[in-house]
Amino acid sequence: MRSLERLSMLILLASLLACQTQRKIEPPMAIYASEPEEKRSVLHIPIELKISDLEETLNNELQGVLFNDNSFDDGDNMKIKATKLNKIGFKADNTSISFALPLALSIQYNGGIFGTLDATGDISLDLKTEYSIQPDWSIVTKTEISSYRWLRRPTLQMGSINVPIGSLVDLVLNKTRKSIGREIDDVVKDYLGLSRVIQDTWDMMFQPLLVSPEYSAWLQVNPTSIGMTPVGIVNNALSTTIVIEARPLVNIGPRPEDKEAMQLPPLTMYTALAPGMEMYLNTTIAWEEAEKIAKQYVLGETYSSGKRKVTVQDLKLYGTNESKVVVNTRLTGSYNGSIYLNGSPEYDLSANKIKIKDLDFTLDTKNVLMKGGAWMLRSTIKNRIQDNMNFLLKYNLEEMKNMLQAELNNYRLGSGLRMSGNIDRLEIGKLRLGPNGFNIGIEILGNLKVMVEEKKK
């Protein structure tokens, strides 16, 4: 009987000890520092449109017969056909482009009783296209004939006699001004037009750009304003600089949600600026991504002390006390439940890693373990976990730099335009903890340029 009572007492005592060991440990509260003021990133993107390319484009577009009036019944008793004679010559200034357009004229005159009289001649028209960029980024062009000169004056042929017919200038100019001017307007507007390219580029900068597929690094430029400098002539090219202000973010982890693009702001004109890119990236290594890295080394690990042992079943990370990382480690075995450790994260420049220093059990965890799991306080579990709480950043920086460089050299801004650039320097700044993960400021300095990639046909 006494043996049975003793056995019952032992079972009760073991149960009480077990209950003490399994008492739930209170997790530290998640606390994060207030968000720092974001630095403004500025991108100065020079655009050069070579006048020779515009000249080639216009010469390709304007070929053969440019004007053909084939009716005698429009009040002038005359038919006129104007055919491009030679290549169109060009010159440009900051607000206009001038053209010399040589035309071969074929004229038929209804001479009544004399029948149809034919004449030919060659004329060079001097045209001027004025252009301006509107607040909605559209371009307005206006082409006018400013002067002319005869290369070969026309005469009428009556039998074997050439009869001068005087000046056909007013007639020729009136008939060609609208049609040829309109064609030139369309070509120049299409070549110089920025509104579609600017709109597409603006919308694209709100979408996540995968800059490192291997490590799931996503860039969102998040522009806040966009403008340009006045157009000028530099090295025989129409030159301007697009100015973009932004709040770029890099997220390392799952693809961020698409952001709805802000409405394209009206055009803002800036004074002349030196080219260059100065970007400050608020880079986030998501808690989920850091957990995934740590779990590769910790999940399934078994730690023992004497006859007791525990196995790590899960691991979660978050921040507390504004500067501490909490490691929530769920165990099974001689201890079932979560234990909490915390430590101070810092960026190790020489190793290019985020390291968790001074990882230790939280106070509440120590209090609970002292009553029933003190053996864990003396085990290697704390040190073994800390060894696997280092997050290598080299791929985030070097890979990001390489991928950004590759993206820059293949970033198309619409038909015929391509952006290129160089990243000269990429530096890492202060490490912070945020609700979404480790936040690291990265500064990128470099140069960008937009180039004409192909001729418009």
For the stretch 419-435, pLDDT in tens is: 677 777 777 777 888 88
Residues ≥6 apart with Cβ < 8 Å to 406: none
Q: What is the pLDDT of residue 85?
A: 92
d(CA 327, CA 94): 63
Residues ≥6 apart with Cβ < 8 Å to 435: 30, 32, 319
- Residue 440's pLDDT band, with cuts at 50, 70 and 90, is confident
Average pLDDT, the chain: 79
75 pLDDT higher than 80: no
d(CA 327, CA 293): 13
Higher pLDDT, 277 or 386: 386
37 pLDDT higher than 90: no
Q: What is the pLDDT of residue 160?
A: 56
Residues ≥6 apart with Cβ < 8 Å to 446: 276, 277, 421, 422, 423, 424, 425
Tokens of 452: 């004409």
Indicate the domain borders of the chain: 25-50+194-457, 62-192
313 pLDDT higher than 60: yes
Residue type at position 178: K
328 pLDDT higher than 50: yes
Tokens of 278: 């100065």
CA 272 to chain centre: 23
Q: What is the pLDDT of residue 317?
A: 94
Helix 2-21 and helix 363-372: axis angle, to 10°? 170
Count helices and strands in the chain by DSSP H and E runs: 10, 25
User: What is the H or E stretch that residue 135 is in?
Assistant: none
Residues 114-142: pLDDT tens digits? 778 888 889 898 989 898 888 888 888 88
DSSP per-residue codes, 43-98: EEEEEEEEHHHHHHHHHHHS-SEEEEE--STTTTSEEEEEEE-SPPEEEE-SSEEE
The average pLDDT across 206-229 equals 82
Residue type at position 169: V
Residues 237-274: pLDDT tens digits? 888 888 888 888 777 778 888 888 889 899 888 886 66
pTM: 0.64
In this structure, whether the domain defined by 62-192 belongs to CATH 3.15.20.10 is answered with yes
